[in-house]
Chain A
Amino acid sequence: MDKAIYLDHASTTPTDPEVVEAMLPWFSEEFGNPSTVYSLGLTAAGAVQEARESIAGMIGAEADEIYFTSGGTESDNWAITGAADALQKKGRHLITSTIEHHAILETMEHLEKRGCEVTRVPVDSGGLVDPEDVRKAIRPDTILVSIMHGNNEVGTIEPIAEIGKVTGEAGVLFHSDVVQTAGKMPLDVNELGIDMLSMSAHKFYGPKGVGLMYMRKRTRISPLFHGGAQERGRRAGTLNVPGIVGMAKALELCRERMAEDAAREAALRDRLWAGLSNNIEAIYLNGSMEHRLPNNLNVRLDGIEGESMILMLDMEGICVSSGSACTTGSLEPSHVLLGLGIPQELAHGSLRVTLGRSTTAEHIDHFVNVFVPIVARLREMSPIWCTNCVCKQKDG
């Protein structure tokens, strides 16, 4: 293998060449500002509208329920702070889960400092939220429930339709971060009962720096950005025309090949798990295999720390992620793994492998071949491997 093997598709994906091609005319030739009234601007506005209609059609929405943003983080921030601001007369209570993306959790913490109350519903060992917990957490002053569709670390697919039913009955706004599932699973905002959702193009082979928020008609939230009439006065800022065109193209390509990609990646993921679990002792699956994104594998290994695995794999030209503290610059390991009930010392030894379109069976087999000796070496180096694992196993 002389080329790098990229197995971190939950982090970002390469922009599809067809997407790049679709974007190119909108940089230097058709560069008009879609908010202007002359024909150069109108051409750009037309391209944006076409993208808007295409994307809306793919998620069961109306075109004017789509708001283009800079990505998932902005959409998440906007949904939460916008709802909290606009609905403060109704209440100041919000509900989320313990394993959301930081863009949700830290925005919630920000609101707590400003007097809001937040309930974080727990998840089971597979990472699943129980819709009953959401129902029980709803109070008369609850203004928003935000539960992600697919978890970015362990790939758990949450029971969004059931949660949407609960929020619908209670008359509470329901936001879902679908950043990890968009392009990978069919999404219909009406079937799922979602009022708002966040999406990011670079997670599905589109460009970075562009995303969207779907907002159901008559949803009342305050703007995050001020200073322009774009997006029906709700999201100021010149539209990222090439990005928007690219995002629509990327989602169209995903839809065409969704079933095929999912089946292929799930088969390769299962091959990977079989290869690892058959050749390495004391390796465990994080999360649920049943309710899981097809391209996600997250494992933990006794006696090893995550960053050292990543560095050693990088030396072999393999890109993966970890739930270890060392990769985030904090002392705490991943809140998602802790949320699943995994003890701190084991969470540090976790590895996330996320497959994508370029992944082949050859890549997977190569990964296993390279990873097995890395694990052996790191365990040889580890002061807790012998005492905590092997000896204990022998004794027991």
Chain B
Amino acid sequence: MYSELVMEHFRNPRNMGVIEDADGVGEVGNPQCGDMMRITIKVKDDTLDDIKFQTLGCGAAVATSSMVTEMAKGKKLDDAVEITNKAVAEALGGLPPAKMHCSNLAADGLQAAIKDYHEREAAKVG
């Protein structure tokens, strides 16, 4: 059902956990749908210095979460925010069709975390 790369990320998820003093937090999905993720980020010089995820969900949900952190880590915020759910799925060698909608929300989570960071920064300035 899943590609070997998806299973590899499911077995050995990258950057799993929580950054306690995060600069931005993004949460997407909801437990009623069975899929939910939280991304915490640490930003330094407009760059994603650190990123961690927690995910409730199926194999695809975990693998996409893991993959997005790997793709985003070390990137400039302006570049990281351009990562799409589709790009994450492609980086994993594709996902089963049924999983494309319900479990492919990792990039949304990252975007939410970056948005949260910008809002916090704006609040500081204000």
Contacts and interface: CB of A to CB of B under 8 A. Distances in A.
Interface in A272-325: 303-308, 311, 315, 324-325
Nearest to A331: B102
A74 B93 CA distance: 38
B83 interface: no
A344 B31 CA distance: 8
Interface in B1-43: 7, 10-11, 13, 16, 27, 30-38
Interface stretch (B50-58, B74-82, B84-92): B50-58
Nearest to A309: B58
B33 A331 contact: yes
B5 to A, nearest CB: 14
A383 interface: yes
B16 A311 contact: no
Given A325-B34, A326-B102, A331-B33, A381 B54 contact: yes
A307 B59 contact: yes
B105 interface: no
B68 to A, nearest CB: 15
Interface string A335-357: 00000000111001000000000
B125 interface: no
Given A315-B11, A326-B103, A383-B54, A305 B37 contact: no
A381 B13 contact: yes
A380 B52 CA distance: 13
A344 B102 CA distance: 15
Contacts of A303: 56
Given A305-B35, A311-B10, A326 B58 contact: yes
Interface of B: 7, 10-11, 13, 16, 27, 30-38, 54-62, 98-99, 102-103
Nearest to B102: A331
Contact of B102 (A311, A325, A388): A325
The 6 closest A-B pairs by CB, nearest first: A345-B31, A348-B34, A307-B58, A326-B58, A383-B38, A383-B54
Contact of A382 (B10, B32, B56, B103): B56
29 contacts: A305-B34, A305-B56, A305-B57, A305-B58, A306-B58, A307-B57, A308-B57, A308-B59, A308-B62, A311-B7, A311-B10, A311-B59, A315-B11, A326-B59, A344-B33, A345-B31, A345-B32, A348-B31, A348-B34, A380-B16, A381-B16, A381-B56, A382-B55, A382-B56, A383-B27, A383-B36, A383-B38, A384-B31, A385-B56
Contacts of B33: 325, 331, 344
Nearest to B59: A311
Contacts of A72: none
Contacts of B31: 344-345, 348, 384, 388
A227 interface: no
A343 B56 CA distance: 16
Contacts of B55: 381-383
Contacts of B10: 308, 311
Given A311-B10, A326-B103, A384 B59 contact: no
Contacts of B34: 305-306, 324-326, 331, 333, 344-345, 348
A115 interface: no
A305 B16 contact: no
A384 B36 contact: yes
Nearest to A346: B31
Contacts of B103: 326
A250 B13 CA distance: 45
Contact of A324 (B16, B58, B99): B58
A381 B102 contact: no
A327 to B, nearest CB: 8
Given A308-B61, A326-B102, 15 more contacts: A304-B56, A306-B58, A311-B58, A311-B59, A326-B58, A330-B98, A331-B33, A331-B102, A343-B32, A345-B32, A348-B31, A380-B16, A382-B55, A382-B56, A383-B54
Contact of A383 (B11, B56, B98, B102): B56
A322 B32 CA distance: 16
Contacts of B56: 303-305, 381-385
Q: Which of B32, B58, B102 has the most CB of A within 10 A?
A: B58
